[in-house]
């Protein structure tokens, strides 16, 4: 049970971070956030958030992370491999972030 929680948590963290802060593949998430009214800096990170239900959902990593974790649980029940791949991507991102901060 603990293993499932850790894997779902890592996968949910990765998806939450990707949606809330990153540009995504082919800048798809950047364009999506711009459609919602977000303003971004030169690197594509959000710097100003509009009001509204949908923008607030995508602006708040705690809120979005909760919903993604719930979805991750149901995905785990049907296809655990999908969650494991997401968790592995989360580990890669954590390692990359720690190396980037260490080298600053």
- Strands of 1-104 (E only): list them: 39-40, 46-48
C-alpha count within 13 angstroms, C-beta hemisphere, residue 97: 9
- Asked if residue 100 belongs to a domain, the reply is no
Domain span at residue 83 reads 2-95
Length of the chain: 104
Residue 82 lies in a domain: yes
Q: Which two tokens stand for residue 36?
A: 């919602």
Is 17 within the bounds of a domain? Answer: yes
Q: What is the pTM of this model?
A: 0.84
In a domain? residue 103: no
pLDDT tens digits for the chain (104 residues)?
Answer: 899 999 999 999 999 999 988 998 999 999 999 999 999 998 888 888 888 888 888 888 999 999 999 999 999 999 999 999 999 999 999 998 888 877 76
| Nearest-angstrom CA–CA distance, 80 and 8 | 9
């Amino acid at each position: 049970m603990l293993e499932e929680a850790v894997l779902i948590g890592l996968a949910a963290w990765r998806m939450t971070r990707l949606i809330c802060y990153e540009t995504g593949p082919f800048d798809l998430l950047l364009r999506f956030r711009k459609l919602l009214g977000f303003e971004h800096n030169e690197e594509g990170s959000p710097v100003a958030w509009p009001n509204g239900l949908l923008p607030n959902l995508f602006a708040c990593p705690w809120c979005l992370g909760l919903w993604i974790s719930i979805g991750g649980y149901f995905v785990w029940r049907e296809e655990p491999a999908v969650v494991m791949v997401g968790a592995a991507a989360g580990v890669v991102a954590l390692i990359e972030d720690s190396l980037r901060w260490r080298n600053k």
